[in-house]
Amino acid sequence: MKKILYILVFSLLFYNNGFEKKNISRSKFFNIIEEKGNTGFVLRYHNEKSPNEYEIMLPINSPPIVSDYHSRYGVLGGSRSNPKKHGGIDFYQKPGEKIIAAADGKVYGVKIKDKCVGNQFAIFFGKAPDGTKLYATHMHVGKIHVKKGDEVKRGQHVADAGELVKTSCGGGMEHLHFHMSKIRGGGAGSWGSWRFLGGPKGWINPHEYWTGGRGKPECFVEGKEYPEGLLTLPVACY
């Protein structure tokens, strides 16, 4: 009996200390952001290495990434579950800051007050140079300035960053969740990212499709020419 209890206690301690990580406080998050200079970095919790095959090189004036694609940790550093790897990229923005179109495209979905992710909208950005279809949803946003069927231009102000979404999907911190897939989603009967993108089998890594190259996102600059089928950042730089 003592042996069984020992095994149970040891397993619990090992799970909590070795794998399961808890969220930090919002105040500690803001301190970390300030210490790192507020812009131009990817926040890596618990010494996590880049989940990609390369490091991400954000412009120095870009809003920071606070949970990267395929990271095992959320925006406040807690361990993820179901799925355990992040399907999108989370950018920290203050409420009201601009969310912009990452390329020319067409809005194919808008949902106000999704039961878990809050407001979201989706844009089809056409095909990448390798032929991959680029569908993207933008979640946890505030006011949306476009409607279904609208054509948008790269850099267009399409939504405002939102307040904290107070559900389990909100992560405990306001942010833009930018999520991409090569297929469209399940429609009105679905929720969250599945509504406009479907399940994980179609999800793709946005870092593969930046105008600056793999892992090299660029800020949108008015008047600059960009290649079709590649993306600039979906957030306005400072």
Span 139-196, pLDDT tens digits: 999 999 999 999 999 999 999 999 999 998 899 999 999 999 999 987 777 888 899 9
CA distances from 68 to 5, 82, 131, 134, 208 (A): 39, 16, 24, 18, 13
Q: Is the pLDDT of residue 12 over 50?
A: no
pLDDT in tens, 101-129: 999 999 999 999 998 899 999 999 999 99
Q: Is the pLDDT of residue 205 over 50?
A: yes
Structure tokens at 218: 């660029």
Q: Is the pLDDT of residue 2 over 50?
A: no
The superfamily CATH assigns to domain 2-208 is Glucose Permease (Domain IIA) (2.70.70.10)
pLDDT band, very low/low/confident/very high, at 53 (cuts 50, 70, 90): confident
